[in-house]
Chain A
Amino acid sequence: MAEVHVIGQIVGASGFSSSSLFCKWGIHTGGAWKLLSGLREGQTQVDNPQLDDVAYWSHPIDVHFATKGLQGWPKLHLQVWHQDSFGRCELYGYGFCHVPSSPGFHRLDCVTWRPLGSWQEQLSQRFVGGGPQLLNSDLIYMGADRYRLQTCAMGTVHLQLAVLLRNFDRYGVEA
């Protein structure tokens, strides 16, 4: 049994077309992994930056996993949402990144995309918002069916993760 601690934060997001953003996040792991403590999913507050276009959430991530194998290394998936002045929520981007496998402190920039609808949908999106979303959110962290998707590039989510590994060297794993 080897253990992984992930301690860090979702710092914020930049590069989105409008502010007032929040983020839903989750960590997906394979079957050999077990969550010992911490929360594996969550949602940040809505942040409305006043000057910059960077929304800061500083949302904590603190999870402790134990594993029997390397397969299914934790994957962090994100959804960035926009809340408009009427309180309606609109999807702004899906993002994904692997939890780094080397111990230490990592600054990660996680790029996001959003599904693109037909041109009628794009037109209506421009005026009233909304837009298509993924039916199954596992497509965010699975590569298999991605080719069916038509997406457009959105902003970037900034993460800071510190990874601590334990007992991996006991099983001959170099990280």
Chain B
Amino acid sequence: MTHPAWNEDTGGAVYRSRDPICNLRIRVCLQRVTSTSLLLQQLQQPSCQPGQQLISLATLGSQNAASGYRPEEEEEEAVIGWQEKLFSQFEVDLYQNKSACQSPLDRQYHQDILKLEKSGGRKNYRIFTYTDHDRFTNMEEHCKRVTTSAQEAPSYLAERMANVRRRRQERKPLDGSVFKSRIVTWKPSEEFIKNNHVINTPMQTMYIMADLGPQDKLGHGDCEHVLCTIRVDSNGVITVKPDFTGTKGAYRIELEGEKRELWKYTLENASAVVQREEEEREQRVFKDLYSRHKEYLQGLVGSDFEMTLPGSLRLFINGEIVSAQGYEYNNLYIHFFLELPSRWSCPPSQQLSGVTQTCATKVIGKDRVAFFSFPFTLEVFFTQEDELEGSLPQWPVLYFEVLSLDFWQRYRVEGYGFVMLPATPGAHTLTVSTWRPVEPGTVSELRRFFIGGSPELEDLTYTRVPSTFQGDRLSRFGFRTETTGSVTFRLNCLQQSKAFLESSSMKKRMQSVLDRMGGFSQRGSLYGVLEAFQRARRRMQEARESLPQDLISTSTAQL
């Protein structure tokens, strides 16, 4: 006899669906697992192990006599739609007399039951449902016990939450105009607080229940058991607790009481599956919509994009001079220019130099900092003339000097520096240290302090390799400098070239080729190993043959 594999995992599962929730259908099969059904099963399918069968028959036989054999109550199956009301025996009894009906919902149920009676009684027997509007749903949420404590009472918060939940149904959809007119509610009403102090996804609940009372005494409240709880919120999130029994075994309910009857039930998603053609049609509609939207965007902007000439690289730099820190004097400004090496060019409108505003410093930590946030945009082109030339292209360099201006309009050189424009695209933050030339002796420093002015570079490119320099050794012997502060640049580099286009497509093509090669190469390596083995074997044979005959004969003799 096979023991049924019970599903012990009664945790919920979360599903998401974009379909309207009214399409949800759940098939519930409820079956009593008692001696009788087991007996019946075994009678129908004789087991291959007679010994065991006898034992089980014997042990189950005693119970068999106690509960009568009624084939019609053994099993019940129902397909239930979302918020579909199936009345229980208890409800039928209750709502049949009109005097018990108080709320409009009760009266509605009264009508429904009368109609049912006319049309020949209800179809369901044990399985029934409680919908979102039913009193049970609220009660269940309100009085739900979470511990084994007998005196557990709902906490203040739980009561509040239950209130909130009930309120949600009555709530009308929010209209935004109320919130636009005033952002802050200075005098929130009690109701407003209740509604707004919890996460507010409106949720609907439905319970699938079973009345597991004895056959002739259906309709007792204490025999009702929850088979499944289904919650759906407005975003299409469906929570089913416990989960549908797919390949897993059935769930079981063990009744309390002396008989300890055992019931098993399965839950199945019986929603109509979307037809293949419909699905395709939906896909097509979506595709159409997306392509329309794309066309619309292209109509707005235009589908073209400015391109570079073939064989040229466009370097596009969005830069800013952020700040200068650590300088001796106040009121700093920065003068900068870009040097383009040979084979680099720029459009005629491009400004290649600039002067920032004069900025009074402020003290941060130990340093005095001047903030510029000075924008500049550089757009330069590199044209490759002949590919044969092996030398790497020289990259443009930004030279700058930091100057200070004082109250008497005297200016002083504060520092010189240069930035190699980054050769990789992306965002770069560069902090460049600077120096200034000093003359030996105190006189020039005194002059600098009192009347301003100080030794200056005639050519800013001296900070790197002077533009006039020719020769193979650059010597700065005898030139004295002093370290001053530093300047922070932020550079966002973009590079554009037709070659990238080709290379990226090349990369892809290469990749696919490599992928295809992958299979070959593996097989190739296998062949390689085999071949090497053959070669080694041949060499060994040759070596063996070349050995003196007597050596071989002695070795065989020893063996």
Contact = CB atoms under 8 A, between A and B. Distances in A.
Interface of A: 1-2, 15, 32, 34, 36, 66-71, 73, 75, 94-98, 100-102, 106, 110-113, 116, 141-144, 146-154, 169-175
A152 B500 contact: no
B356 A146 contact: yes
Interface in B140-198: none
Contacts of B305: 1-2, 67-69, 170-171
9 contacts: A36-B300, A66-B297, A68-B305, A100-B492, A101-B425, A143-B374, A144-B351, A147-B357, A172-B497
A174 B306 CA distance: 14
Contact of A67 (B301, B314, B316, B361): B301
A143 B336 CA distance: 12
Given A34-B301, A147-B356, A153-B369, A70 B490 contact: no
Contact of B320 (A1, A69, A98, A106): A98
A97 B360 contact: no
Contacts of B323: 111, 153
A104 to B, nearest CB: 9
Contacts of A150: 331, 357-358, 360
Contacts of B494: 70, 73, 101, 173-175
Given A173-B494, A174-B425, A68 B306 contact: yes
A144 B353 CA distance: 10
A116 B360 CA distance: 8
Interface stretch (B32-40, B375-383, B391-399): B375-383
Interface extent on B, as a size class? 35 or more
B354 interface: yes
B427 A101 contact: yes
Interface string B347-369: 00001001111111110100001
Contacts of A143: 354, 356, 374-376
B496 A70 contact: yes
Contacts of B300: 34, 36, 66
Nearest to A169: B504
B427 A106 contact: yes
Given A1-B305, A36-B300, A173 B495 contact: yes
B499 interface: yes
B225 interface: no
A154 B371 contact: yes
A116 B371 CA distance: 13
B536 to A, nearest CB: 50
A151 B355 CA distance: 14
A143 B376 CA distance: 6
A97 B425 contact: no
B307 interface: yes
Given A113-B359, A141-B375, 16 more contacts: A1-B298, A69-B306, A70-B306, A96-B375, A97-B373, A101-B494, A111-B323, A111-B371, A111-B372, A142-B375, A144-B351, A146-B354, A146-B374, A151-B357, A152-B360, A153-B323
Nearest to B495: A174
A100 to B, nearest CB: 5
**3 closest Cβ contacts across the A-B interface?**
A149-B357, A152-B360, A111-B371
Given A102-B426, A113-B371, A172-B308, A146 B496 contact: no
B301 A66 contact: yes
Contacts of A32: 306
Contacts of B370: 153
B498 interface: yes
Most interface-central of B298, B318, B379 (chain A CB within 10 A): B318
B421 interface: no
B370 to A, nearest CB: 5
B496 A171 contact: yes
Contacts of A71: 306, 316, 377, 379
Contacts of B351: 144
A170 B323 CA distance: 36
Contact of A146 (B355, B360, B371): B355
B315 to A, nearest CB: 10
B496 A173 contact: yes
Contacts of B504: 169, 172
Interface string B314-337: 101011101100000001010000
A70 B320 contact: no
A94 B359 CA distance: 12
Given A101-B427, A149-B357, A171 B375 contact: no
A98 B373 CA distance: 10
Contacts of B360: 116, 150-153
Contact of A95 (B373, B498, B499): B373
Most interface-central of A69, A149, A153 (chain B CB within 10 A): A153
Contacts of B331: 150
Given A69-B306, A111-B322, A153-B370, A98 B375 contact: yes
Nearest to A109: B322
Given A66-B300, A172-B496, A147 B373 contact: no
B493 interface: yes
A175 B425 contact: yes
A5 B376 CA distance: 22
B184 to A, nearest CB: 10
Given A15-B364, A66-B297, A69-B305, A172 B373 contact: no
B501 interface: yes
Most interface-central of B305, B306, B320 (chain A CB within 10 A): B305
B492 A111 contact: no
A112 B373 contact: yes
B185 to A, nearest CB: 16
A51 B351 CA distance: 46
B360 to A, nearest CB: 4
Contacts of B333: 147
B493 to A, nearest CB: 7
Contacts of A102: 425-427, 492
A68 B377 CA distance: 17
Contact of A75 (B304, B354, B375): B375
